[in-house]
Structure 1
């Protein structure tokens, strides 16, 4: 029946309008980058309003030359809210790519007039352009897929997960996105995915930004928005809930679920990163075991529900964003500012769940249910900060690293000054390392480095270490933290942050010495300016997430 309805949608209901690839192939294929572009160009010929979008100064292609394509549909009302919708960052999770094409067509057809009036949209259906075109029926066999094309690859052509790249910004795709955040400056970012794990009873799961160190009131508002959307969809017969997995990760009748846990508080994730810029974010995860057309339909319905809520509450959204920005800048006038270096899951509520004990076929697809158990479980879908430290007035970065670090900081939208612009009355502080952990294996192509320690006024004693001369301090990069994106600057530059440039290997030549490095030790490449730490902080490393969005 679903295939018949999709066939009808491609004939009488869409007469004269372009069809998406699943519609015109009776669900046999998903779209390539070129087919997305062809569909969008056909929409542009059919109705005015849609235009290609390219952020100022952004890369135009991936490492392999695949185009990075986005489109803008400006709101035709007064002062519309800007929203960015991203899809296919994991190109095996293709539902968002197809759903957003349908939504744009509906908006141009005159459907959803409130959204057309009150939202200014930029959409990027094929963010991971390399993965989008690497279609293979053997990929993600546990989900019902388009039979002819299969789906794309999770990672990019270099083997990097683009949804772990927001802080280190190694990929052109990421630098495109950072440029968009500066140029288009959306109030909210939607990122569209499909789940991998637990067999639950929801049609779709979702999440707000739950970012380490972001403004608490803004995070609470972000969650309240999605609770409102969830309740609306529930009343309409579509069950949804916060994204996560059961604990244990793969329950059995002998070891049934005891809790529900969400994913991760690191800003390296696209859903979390916007909160450090005082913006809202939404994660959408269609349920992997539902049928291919159902997953597209569920994603379309959820995105429309979120966009409708945003359009109807755009004044509140702007107020919350302005409040978060003002609170950060005002905090500097009241005294020392502190931020957490780690976070732990916290129980937000008890909630009702359906746990499905599945029957699977040889490919791991869910083809039936042995049982369905109704449970009320503690739901750990939030985080609370821990290991708080005093935030310095700013950081100085060794001028030797300026060619690498300056473009990266500027890509993030940070204000970067010369070291000579620092406040002369504040102390220059040196990092005293107390422990370190170099990863045993590469993560995202990097042997990551976790550092612990504290900032002190006296240099760390190390024989023959390169000293900081006054002219070095004046030539250094100075990044003040009392700027609008100061939270982001802290997590990029404090060496104890597990999303910092030090963690991601930018300073490995100075911080990791090994065979063949026979010279005198270089100096630590970052200094702090302002208050030191009273005591070294014992960092509680955040656990790796069980849910892999």
Structure 2
């Protein structure tokens, strides 16, 4: 009896070893497609055509992988470069949908190349728990213009393949990772169409850092956009903290994206995050009730290492989502319900801005680098461990009651309607406005038109408050009942009302006023003689007679963690 058990154990062991060997050899099996960088030993990164060729070959292995085109989306950039995306269906029922964006900055290529490996591994069956629970859409060459403009002179401070990498911006000089709200580029309109068509529960955006000297292989950031649902943002942060712990067990140090904070004597006194603006791809998801993740590989690691770091980290994110699928879905629904509940008591509130706040104290490795003439690290003088306060969370401040909705002057309707609808907002005729509600006019207290352009725009920062009284200065054109009916009305009592507020309120730090869509009114120069035009946006509802920044200062701050 003992001999039978022993032989059985030996047989099982041999079968297991053979099975593991077969699984590990699949990626090197000549019958599986190889990415361009694998074929030429990491001498070049992939072009748009390279990725398309790889995916076409991979489709022959699994028909569940298909080209993906959102409804009503541009198929190409403005120069005709294809926006090629792929969709890999899950094997299980009711999957969580995840969109993975890569190559938005065409010099940051690791994510683009890692996604090819990840999809191949999923189809090979390496991560069955992910494949069962997660449906993926990915566009690896999001900045398709830049993806093919590879040059060894781009981003010389990072170790690149011999063939070079692409430029940061698109062909018009637009940083696509600052375009989510204004949606000036075809790429952004593609992504907004993807939100409406695919409705992702999570969005990853894969990048490479620009030069901080730290000991992390990957830095990350959750979706911190101003006005996102706080508990949903809390789940977003917990996901990344959980994954941080898992990656550390695997020998990969990761932490929140950011940089060291210095005092006036250039002494390191902390670590701080960067942005909470929804114009970033990874922040915008929170206004669509999705989780968001900024993934930044460490710029000074080798090209091959950066691809592998991306692969490992993205897979671990997907594992977490697969294991917590039902909780993510519940929290998304709860966030929508919380917004709807505020309207039931007519007390919907949103913050005008956020501020960085202390999240924890953490042990950091401060690298003292040795660099070559191009800025690449060729060695290290030392690494110093420091316990530092980490300002990697944001708190909401200047919380105000929001109006019932906004009326947009019919003169601007055809200009703004396509953008508002692209974001998924329900846009109604002005005649559909609630008739019993007061019309509110914006009283400016401060206007700052930028002296230099950002994204090609002289941005406008506006301060003030809504009042029922008309401003003292007479307008050359009056709002009439006929004008009001011909206007477009955007109610905020809708699922994406948060997003509508930040797009249309003149005080928004990232709205359409800020981005110059209404400069004919908000940026009139000294050479404009006559009476100004009427205000292009009116607020509807007495709730708009809200607190100014000063009156809100005494109210308790809600912390988004």
TM-score by length of 1: 0.94
Match of 1:226 among 235, 240, 244: 240
Counterpart of 2:11 in structure 1 is none
Q: Write the deviation string for residues 364-401 of structure 1: whole angstroms up to 9, x where unpaired.
A: 00111111100000000011111222200100000110
2:55 to 24, 27, 40: 40
| Residue among 102, 106, 115 paired with 1:100 | 115
Deviation at 1:539, TM superposition (A): 11
Structure 2 equivalent of residue 75 of structure 1: 90
Instruction: Give me the whole-angstrom Cα distance separating, in 2, the residues matched to 1:343 and 1:11.
Output: 48
Partner of 1:481: 492
| Alpha-carbon distance, 1:426 to partner | 0.7
| SS at 1:434 equivalent | strand
Residue among 299, 308, 314 paired with 1:297:
308
1:379 paired residue among 368, 377, 390: 390
Candidates 123, 133, 158, aligned match of 1:118: 133
Which residue in 2 is equivalent to 1:360? Answer: 371
Residues of 1 paired with 2:463 and 2:526: CA distance?
Answer: 24
Distance 2:26 2:317 in 1: 29
Cα deviation, residue 422, structure 1? 1.2
Cα distance change of structure 1 residues 10 and 538 upon mapping to structure 2, 3 Å threshold: farther
What residue in structure 2 maps to residue 214 of structure 1?
A: 228
Q: 1:24 aligns with which of 28, 32, 39?
A: 39
Show the counterpart of 1:6: none
Contact 1:452/1:537 (8 A) holds in 2:
no
Distance 1:150 1:235 in 2: 34
CA spacing shift, 1:515–1:358, aligned 2, 3 Å:
same
TM-score (norm 2): 0.92
Corresponding residue for residue 5 of structure 1:
none
What residue number does 1:160 align with? 174
* 2:407 paired residue number: 396
Q: Aligned pair in 2 of structure 1 residues 12, 223: CA closer, same or farther (>3 Å)? A: closer
Shift of 1:92: 0.5
2:158 corresponds to 1:146: no
Contact 1:191 1:284 in 2 (8 A): yes
Match of 1:195 among 209, 228, 239: 209
Q: 1:65 to 1:448 in 2, by over 3 A?
A: same
After TM superposition, list the pairs within 5 Å mapping 1:219-368 onto structure 2.
219-248=233-262, 255-368=266-379
Give the CA deviation at 1:502: 0.6
Residue 12 of structure 2 is matched in structure 1 by none
Query: Which residue is equivalent to 1:449?
Result: 460
Contact 2:404 2:544 in 1 (8 A): no
> Does the aligned pair in 2 maintain the 1:99–1:299 contact within 8 Å?
yes
Deviations 1:332-386 (A, max 9, x none): 1123222111111000000010000100011100111111100000000011111
Q: Which runs of 5+ in 1 are unaligned?
A: 1-8, 541-549
Could you tell me how far apart the structure 2 residues matched to 1:10 and 1:358 are?
38
Q: Could you tell me how far 1:198 is from its partner in structure 2? A: 1.3
Kept in 1: contact 2:400–2:547 (CA 8 A): no
In 2, the alpha carbon distance for the partners of 1:366 and 1:248 equals 22
Report the aligned-residue RMSD: 1.7
Kindly tell me: are residues 374 and 423 of structure 1, through their superposed partners in 2, closer, same or farther at Cα, counting changes over 3 Å? same
The aligned residue for residue 522 of structure 1 is 533
**Kept in 1: contact 2:26–2:124 (CA 8 A):** no
SS at match of 2:200: coil
Q: Does the CA-based 8 Å contact 2:400-2:546 persist in structure 1?
A: no
* 1:465 CA displacement: 3.0
Partner of 1:432: 443
SS state at 2:549 partner? coil
Structure 2 residue aligned with 1:533:
545
Q: Aligned partners of 1:102 and 1:75: how far apart in 2?
A: 17
Shift, 1:12, TM fit: 8.0
Residues 522 and 12 (structure 1), Cα distance of their counterparts in 2 relative to 1, 3 Å cut:
closer
Contact kept? 2:475, 2:534, Cα under 8 Å: no
8 Å contact from structure 1 (residues 389, 533) kept in 2: no
In structure 1, how many angstroms separate the alpha carbons of the residues matched to 2:27 and 2:148? 30
Going from structure 1 to structure 2, the CA distance change for 1:529 and 1:464 (only over 3 Å counts) comes to closer
Following the alignment from structure 1 to structure 2, what is the Cα–Cα distance between the partners of residues 517 and 318?
A: 53
> Which is higher, the Rg of structure 1 or of structure 2?
2
Residue 495 of structure 1: which of 497, 503, 506 is its match?
Answer: 506
Runs of 4+ in 1 over 6 A off after TM superposition: 9-12
CA contact (8 A) 1:164 1:268 kept: yes
1:428-479 C-alpha deviation (Å, 9 max, x unpaired)? 0000111110001000010000001110101112134311001111111111
Q: How far 1:256 moved relative to its partner?
A: 3.6
User: SS of the counterpart of 1:97?
Assistant: helix
8 Å contact 1:434–1:536 — kept in the other structure? no
Give me the whole-angstrom Cα distance separating, in 2, the residues matched to 1:84 and 1:57: 18
Change in 2 beyond 3 A, CA 1:364/1:459: same
* C-alpha separation in 2, matches of 1:227 and 1:464: 54
Secondary structure class of the residue paired with 2:544: coil
Residue 523 of structure 2 is matched in structure 1 by: 512
Q: In 1, are the aligned partners of 2:401 and 2:546 still within 8 Å (CA)?
A: no
Change (3 A) 1:464 1:143: closer
Match of 1:459 among 454, 458, 470: 470
Aligned-partner Cα distance in 2 for 1:120–1:214: 24
Partner residue of 2:4? none
The answer as to whether partners of 2:247 and 2:254 remain within 8 angstroms in 1 is yes
What is aligned with 2:70? 55
Quote the Cα distance in structure 1 between the aligned partners of 2:27 and 2:67.
28
